[in-house]
């Protein structure tokens, strides 16, 4: 399938409207002589959309409006593709990744609840079920966001190493069993500690308050016990952990998370950890390249409880290769029976850099929506959905949802998804997101670190130089606020 776009109104939204139906389609400059293709042609007088599918060609035209020509073109395209494919995406025409943030923004703009409902149900053409889901999460998040201070921030530290690479993963992560990678780990940890020190100094100079810390990956517990102690001990030395609202460390893989490391996490102040099964099926674990069993996950969870960890998240993925609705249901029930504080349910996303896409080993499962329907059991077990996001390439245009028992919601996840305060990011591939104090969405600047560990180590002085942009950002924000 190829996507062809023409005209000023035929841009990002039109392309991704087509990808709601054909996520693996490629862009083309000209309409091909044969094969499947979809075109969106925006003229000054007339819009036209065309689909050639299985040697059948259909098209529609409509007058080009004077106002939002992009929306009119996307609507025309969406209606044609719904009709011809028989697919009605559950989130309708929505291409954005943060539906809940839209509700927050509309409320901040003074739009009544009836207008917000119309925006989702009529403008985006979401199903009532998805709108109710998003609105319920927005309601739960509301007191958290209203309690945020304009000078709050969070700090993220990334560990781009794993014991093995999962087939669905597209993150920048290297396997620690590789000799070349082993040689990078200690220098990487040393530089990461230096960058965190620089971030702490920046926090002080800008007058920021760190509300949450998050060590993610990769897999942070792929570090040795000594390296994990070095990193977390350094963080404890330079940040006031007693002033934090939350400190999360991902301990996701039981094949590298042992009792000693669980003790280190607790000893050095982590208040929330993740132990992520993805599935409790040994066969599916093997399919995705995991080198551990479902029993290993249960044993790791028990060891974490024994060490005193009282806020644990577990991730599951719907749509993994070889899984079934029955198998996913068993995994969900197993996770519920372990009684973690959070259960995050992701829908499999086919990312171009992942082995699932590169090796063409994944199918777009027809039953992934039925898997997610089983998540109603989480309500009965006392969990509530508290954050939600979407990704391009997700099977059936579905979503990822974090579920939590009341009072255990991950604040960092809410802050980063709803983009309400600055996230200062350290490590390879880190993306610092600077949010103008008190501003609505759209007032965000980013500072990127180098993507790969060897680049991060070799060009570290450039990373420190880029971080000066944080102070410049807040100086500019203060000056602008003073002028208003």
Report yes or no: 57 and 50 within 8 Å, Cβ to Cβ. Answer: yes
Per the structure block, which two tokens stand in for 340?
């973690």
Phi, psi angles (nearest 5°) of residue 234? -65, -45
Q: What is the C-alpha to C-alpha distance for residues 339 and 336, in angstroms, rounded to an integer?
A: 5
SS3 breakdown of the chain: % helix, strand, coil, rounded to 5? 45, 20, 35
Compute the mean pLDDT over every residue in the chain, rounded to the nearest whole number: 90
Report yes or no: 435 and 450 within 8 Å, Cβ to Cβ. Answer: no
Q: What is the C-alpha to C-alpha distance for residues 271 and 309, in angstroms, rounded to an integer?
A: 7
pLDDT at 312 over 50: yes
Q: What is the C-alpha to C-alpha distance for residues 256 and 286, in angstroms, rounded to an integer?
A: 17
pLDDT at 478 over 90: no
- Mean pLDDT over 377-405 rounds to 93
- Identify the pLDDT of residue 365: 56
Q: Side by side, which strands form the sheet with 2-6?
A: 26-27, 2-6, 37-42, 46-53, 56-63
Report yes or no: 440 and 110 within 8 Å, Cβ to Cβ. Answer: no
More confident residue, 11 or 301: 301
Tens of pLDDT along 167-201? 555 555 556 667 778 889 999 999 999 999 999 99
Q: Which of 52-56, 226-230, 269-273 has the lowest mean pLDDT?
A: 52-56
Phi, psi angles (nearest 5°) of residue 289? 90, 15
Q: What is the C-alpha to C-alpha distance for residues 366 and 188, in angstroms, rounded to an integer?
A: 42
- Mean pLDDT over 322-327 rounds to 94
The percent of residues in the chain predicted with pLDDT above 70, rounded, is 92
Report yes or no: 18 and 51 within 8 Å, Cβ to Cβ. Answer: no
Per the structure block, which two tokens stand in for 58?
């259909």
Residue 439 — very low, low, confident or very high, per pLDDT cuts 50/70/90? low
CB atoms within 10 A of CB 445: 16
The residue among 74, 72, 116 whose CA lies nearest residue 92 is: 74
- Identify the pLDDT of residue 350: 74
CB atoms within 10 A of CB 112: 10
Q: pTM value?
A: 0.91
- Mean pLDDT over 282-296 rounds to 90
DSSP characters for 152-221?
A: EEEEEEEE-EESS--TT--SS-EETTSHHHHHHHHHHHHHHHHHHHHHHHHHHHHT-EEEEEEEEES-GG
Q: Which of 295-309, 363-377, 448-462 has the lowest mean pLDDT?
A: 363-377
Q: What is the C-alpha to C-alpha distance for residues 344 and 386, in angstroms, rounded to an integer?
A: 10
Residue 358 — very low, low, confident or very high, per pLDDT cuts 50/70/90? very low
Can you tell me whether residue 2 is helix, strand or coil? strand
Q: What is the C-alpha to C-alpha distance for residues 412 and 247, in angstroms, rounded to an integer?
A: 9
Q: Which of 265-279, 348-362, 447-461 has the lowest mean pLDDT?
A: 348-362
- Identify the pLDDT of residue 180: 73
Radius of gyration of the chain (CA): 23
First to last CA, the chain: 51
- Mean pLDDT over 343-370 rounds to 66
Please identify, in words, the CATH class of the domain defined by 2-85: alpha beta
- Identify the pLDDT of residue 298: 96
Residue 477 — very low, low, confident or very high, per pLDDT cuts 50/70/90? confident
Sign of the CA dihedral running 201, 236, 211, 379: positive
The conformation of residue 375, written as its DSSP 8-state character, comes to: T
Domain ranges of the chain: 2-85, 99-144, 148-471
Q: At what angle do helices 411-418 and 128-146 cross, to 10 degrees?
A: 110
Residue 357 — very low, low, confident or very high, per pLDDT cuts 50/70/90? very low
pLDDT at 262 over 90: yes
Residue 229 — very low, low, confident or very high, per pLDDT cuts 50/70/90? very high
Can you tell me whether residue 17 is helix, strand or coil? helix
Phi, psi angles (nearest 5°) of residue 254? -70, -15
CATH superfamily of 148-471: tm_1862 like domain (3.80.30.20)
Residue 275 — very low, low, confident or very high, per pLDDT cuts 50/70/90? very high
CA distances from 437 to 21, 143, 356, 474, 482 (A): 38, 18, 41, 9, 13
The residue among 432, 426, 458 whose CA lies nearest residue 187 is: 458
CA 43, distance to chain mean position in Å, is: 36
pLDDT at 376 over 70: yes
DSSP characters for 80-92?
A: HHHHHH----TTT
- Identify the pLDDT of residue 482: 53
DSSP characters for 288-314?
A: TT--S-HHHHHHHHHHHHHHT---EEE
More confident residue, 163 or 329: 329
């Amino acid at each position: 399938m190829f996507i062809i776009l023409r005209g000023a109104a035929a841009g990002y939204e039109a392309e991704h409207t087509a990808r709601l139906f054909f996520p693996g389609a490629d862009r083309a400059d000209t309409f091909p002589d044969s094969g499947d293709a979809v075109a969106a042609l925006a003229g000054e007088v007339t819009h036209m959309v065309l689909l050639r599918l299985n040697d059948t060609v259909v098209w529609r035209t409509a007058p080009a409006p004077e106002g939002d020509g992009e929306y009119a073109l996307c609507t025309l395209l969406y209606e044609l593709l719904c009709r011809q494919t028989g697919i009605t995406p559950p989130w309708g025409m929505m291409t954005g990744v943060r539906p809940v943030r839209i509700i927050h923004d509309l409320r901040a703009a003074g739009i009544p609840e009836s207008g917000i409902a119309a925006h989702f149900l009529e403008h985006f053409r979401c199903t009532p079920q998805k709108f109710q889901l998003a609105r319920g999460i927005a309601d739960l998040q509301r007191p958290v966001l209203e309690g945020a201070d304009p000078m709050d921030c969070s700090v993220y530290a990334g560990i781009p190493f794993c014991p093995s690479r999962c087939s669905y993963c597209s993150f920048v992560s290297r396997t620690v069993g590789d000799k070349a990678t082993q040689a990078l780990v200690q220098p990487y940890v040393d530089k990461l500690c230096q960058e965190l020190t620089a971030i702490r100094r920046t926090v002080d100079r800008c007058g920021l308050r760190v509300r949450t810390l998050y060590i993610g990956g990769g897999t942070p517990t792929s570090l040795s016990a000594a390296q994990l102690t070095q990193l977390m001990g350094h963080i404890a030395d330079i940040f006031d952990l007693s002033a934090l609202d939350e400190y999360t460390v991902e301990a996701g893989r039981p094949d590298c998370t042992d009792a000693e490391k669980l003790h280190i996490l607790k000893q050095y102040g982590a208040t929330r950890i993740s132990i992520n099964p993805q599935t409790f099926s040994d066969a599916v674990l093997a399919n995705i390249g995991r080198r551990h069993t479902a029993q290993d996950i249960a044993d790791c969870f028990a060891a974490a409880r024994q060490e005193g960890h009282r806020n644990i998240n577990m991730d599951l993925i719907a749509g993994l290769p070889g899984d079934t609705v029955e198998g996913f249901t068993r995994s969900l029930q197993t996770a519920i029976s372990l009684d973690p504080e959070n259960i995050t349910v992701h829908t499999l996303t086919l990312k171009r850099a992942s082995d699932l896409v590169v090796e063409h080993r994944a199918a777009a499962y027809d039953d992934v929506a039925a898997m997610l329907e089983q998540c109603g059991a989480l309500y009965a077990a006392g969990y509530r959905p508290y954050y939600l996001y979407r990704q391009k390439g997700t099977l059936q245009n579905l979503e990822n949802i974090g579920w939590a028992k009341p009072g255990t919601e991950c604040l960092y996840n809410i802050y980063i998804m709803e983009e309400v305060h600055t996230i200062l990011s350290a490590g390879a591939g880190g993306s610092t997101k600077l949010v103008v104090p008190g501003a609505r969405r759209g007032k965000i600047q980013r500072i990127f670190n180098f993507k790969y560990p060897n680049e991060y180590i070799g060009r570290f002085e450039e990373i420190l130089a880029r971080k000066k942009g944080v102070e410049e950002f807040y100086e500019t924000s203060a000056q602008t606020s003073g002028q208003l």
